[in-house]
A and B are shown apart, each in its own frame.
Chain A
Amino acid sequence: MKFTTLLLTCLRGLVRNPMRAALTVLGIVIGIAAVVAIMEIGEGSKQQIADKFSNLGADVVNIFGASVSTGGVNSGMGGRASLYPSDAEAIMEECPGTVVSASPFVRASGQVIVGNTNWSPNSIKGGNEHYLDIEGWEIEKGSAFTKKQVDEAARVCLIGKTIAEKLYPGQDPIGQDIRIKDVAFTVIGVLAAKGADGMGNDQDDCLILPWTSIRMRLMGASGSATISKGGAANNTNKASSTSTYSTSGVNFYPGCELEPYASAPHPLRTRTVDSILVKIRSKESATPAMDDMTPVLRRQHKLEPGVLDDFEMRDRSQFIKMVTGTSETMSRLLIAVAMISLVVGGVGIMNIMMVSVTERTREIGLRMAVGARPRDIMQQFLLEAVLLCLAGGFIGIIAGRIASELVSKHNGWPVATSPMAMVLAVSVAAVIGIIFGWYPAFKASRLDPIDALHHE
């Protein structure tokens, strides 16, 4: 029998009882609609999260000092003050294949004052001239600080949108004075708004300064790292060996004439940085980039083979993956539940196909008598079941799309059409048709033509 003829025969068989066919596929329709709707809503929230995190920089690797244990207390990540600004330069020079740029990163906190208003920003961050690019900041007004300004520890700063609104309402902040922890700075630029980060923190409530300015002018304002000994101790001489970040020209700590302080070294904190941010060529190249950077840092830190790294690297895409993973797990769970309803729908199909085979026993007998082979009968009933399921699948896709659109309109949830969901839905429907249509079709093909012909 030709396939087109078979198809027509099956369609005719189905439209003979349209109401029953419609009720039969209802289970499949509901199941497929649920799968499609859940996948679309899941996809939507995943994309939303991805969007939120993309401005956090997925192509950034953070390098921290390793943790250190003192007296049984572990400092956690970044506890060891082992990173130097020269490390950032070395990485940029020696890993051009995987690394775009690198910047030292330091953090401060404190009050800022403009005129008679004050404000405690969420964060005061410091980096070099590449920092804005690495973190994906754009300048809305004014200009970024230059390498020269970084070298000079210039008293300039960039302010976030929120700060601009709070401290300079209705004014142009460019060129205005701002006092950060009682040190006068000049605002040279306003950053374009970034909005909340993935955790809901306002990213625009921040100031960005040359890292040198924070280290040299806002001392004592450092971040979390408090332990300045450990693996870094044997590198004490390193930072001063580079001219760029040399502090030799600036006497921030005017020597004390008193004997005990005469030979005191600079506190380590002025020369180490909290972390180093590295922008890599692409999101996917995080691992090769880290493999590139590790030997550079080990050499910079003069670590003997066998000595553990005194730094740790983490790429941010891991963090993003972790957050999106949660919503993915949730939607997978829901899809599993929807799949159960598909199985129930499949059982409904099987049930009706069994009824149909019994009801059409004489037709089967006749077809066999006039020359249909068992496999012809099998094909006919199997195709009928598959057609039912496919029809249910297509209706289900439409219903699912409508449902997800309604949900997005009504609840304001993000949805995204997922072609994957549709392909999956249709193939699942076809597979269910084959699985649950097989047994009734097999039974039909095994009928004895004589008995079938005389079936009442």
Chain B
Amino acid sequence: MLRIAVIELRNITKVYHLGEIDLPVLKGISLSIEDGEFVSLTGASGSGKSTLMNIMGCLDHPSGGEYLLDGKDVAGLDADDRARLRNARIGFVFQNFNLLPRTSALENVMMPAYYHHPVDAAAKIRERALELIRLVGLEDRMNHTPAQLSGGQQQRVAIARSLINSPGILLADEPTGNLDSTTSVEVMNMFRELNRQKGISVIIVTHDPKTAAFTDRAINMSDGLIMEGVSDELSATLEK
């Protein structure tokens, strides 16, 4: 079965200029992620996985190489176009949840829809947000502010938020990094559900082999390059 590549990276490089020193972070990454894949991106800190995720999430542009998102080259887009693209195509989940403080869970979920173009009617956005809140099982807490929610609940709000504009790709940066092991499992199961049932491509960036073990495919990075196969640590976890 031929699957379309939603993300295709061709020899992506990224160099940071720190004063007079050039610091190469990505040294030529070629990678293809197909529609509906559940992938983890692992690697030690400093391996360049966050940078790669920022590039895949159109938050950053590469210093070199080609990036095709849905078959279109997006490396040369300007800030406004990248914002549109992120809004419509990519959902973000962060390690520290990044919910708006003193704002209800429901409002947090609705927020990205306000930046959608063209913007939907408020009632329609609300209806969709309620549906997503129900999907993550927080309908009885939708009027709580983040401070009144536990870490796991906050992350579930964040997941609901990432889905409000029906994106094709979910990018999660250490989604379980601030959670205990039980809630981590809950959250990872939720990602798997979304992947299986809605066919969303999910990419999880993590340094935790246990988290990576939930995914179907693990991409291991080291020193700005993708390692062939999986790391020893991960394979050990997988075998268990």
A: residues with CB less than 8 A from B are: 1-2, 5, 9, 12, 16, 362-363, 365-376, 449-450, 453
Contact = CB atoms under 8 A, between A and B. Distances in A.
Contacts of B79: 373-374
Contacts of A5: 114, 119, 122
A363 B59 contact: no
B114 A1 contact: yes
Contacts of A12: 102-103
A366 B115 contact: no
Interface in B60-111: 60, 79-80, 83-84, 86-88, 92, 94, 98, 100-103, 111
Interface of B: 54, 57, 59-60, 79-80, 83-84, 86-88, 92, 94, 98, 100-103, 111-112, 114-116, 119, 122, 161, 165
B100 A370 contact: no
Given A5-B114, A371-B115, A363 B86 contact: no
B101 A371 contact: no
A376 B80 CA distance: 10
13 contacts: A2-B122, A12-B102, A12-B103, A363-B100, A365-B98, A366-B100, A370-B86, A370-B111, A371-B84, A371-B116, A373-B83, A373-B115, A449-B59
A369 B57 contact: yes
A370 B115 contact: yes
A30 B83 CA distance: 41
A453 B98 CA distance: 8
Contacts, number: 65
Contacts of A373: 79-80, 83-84, 115
A227 to B, nearest CB: 85
A372 B59 CA distance: 12
Contact of B111 (A16, A367, A375, A450): A367
Nearest to B112: A370
A16 B60 CA distance: 31
A456 B100 CA distance: 15
A24 to B, nearest CB: 18
Contacts of A366: 94, 98, 100
A373 B119 CA distance: 14
Given A370-B115, A371-B116, A450 B54 contact: yes
A369 B119 contact: no
A163 B114 CA distance: 81
Contacts of B103: 12
Most chain A Cβ neighbours within 10 Å, of B54, B57, B94, B100? B100
Contacts of B86: 369-371
Contacts of B114: 1-2, 5, 9
A376 B115 contact: yes
A373 B81 CA distance: 8
A384 to B, nearest CB: 14
Nearest to A456: B96
Nearest to B162: A370
A302 to B, nearest CB: 83
